Amino acid sequence: MTGFRRRVALAAVALLAVLAAGCGVRPSVVITGGPAPVGRVQGVGLYFVAEQRVTLVLRPSTPPGSVDTALALLLAGPDPRERQRGYRSEIPAGAGPAVTTSDRSGTTVSLGTDVTALSARAVDQLVCTVRYALPADRPAERSMVTLTGPDGSRGPYGCDPPECPAAPDGAEDSPGADRCLPADLGPAPARTAGPGS
């Protein structure tokens, strides 16, 4: 090796050694960027049953639908894609149409079916769908839901909804699996539904 080549090789090795040493960059601590965004994911929230649990399913919608819209979609049952992914409803066919009224004490949902015969999961589906459709900042005491039918009434109920919605339409996920999104409701609790669980 000639002197010139040797100097170039030594310079390259020295440069690599400096780069490998990190040029005096000291280790740093993790810098947090603040809390994750908070708020509801855009869409109509419907509660269906998957793997014996009441699970939030989001259907794209802009702007978010009303309580009446959400109930009409819920009573129509899962769409073909949701059924393919394992979602089902325990609300009996013919339970609708639903008529809702709201006052200072909460929301009343009048159905065309006997409400005392509804399964606990069917009650959860109805109550949690209504609660999700209500404004997020509505006080808890005004978020209670009462179900009425030809045979009487049930409630009022609150809802302890799943904190992580199922994957939005088009995303791969198994039914009932918790999947948190950046702008969702927060970490998943141990329990996934309220009144009838």
Selected residue with higher pLDDT from 17 and 118: 118
Angstrom distance (rounded) from CA 150 to CA 142: 24
Say if residue 156 is preceded by a cis peptide, omega within 30 of 0: yes
What DSSP character marks residue 88?
Answer: B
In this model, does residue 99 exceed pLDDT 80?
yes
In this model, does residue 60 exceed pLDDT 60?
yes
Mean pLDDT of the chain, nearest integer? 75
Q: What would the pLDDT profile of 107-141 be if each residue is shown by its tens digit?
A: 999 999 999 999 999 999 999 999 999 888 888 87
Angstrom distance (rounded) from CA 15 to CA 74: 66
Please tell me the least confidently modeled range out of 98-112, 134-148, 149-163, 178-192. 178-192
Tell me, what's the pLDDT at 18? 63
CB 162 within 8 A of CB 192: yes
In this model, does residue 91 exceed pLDDT 90?
yes
Angstrom distance (rounded) from CA 148 to CA 1: 95
Please tell me the least confidently modeled range out of 31-40, 54-63, 138-147. 31-40
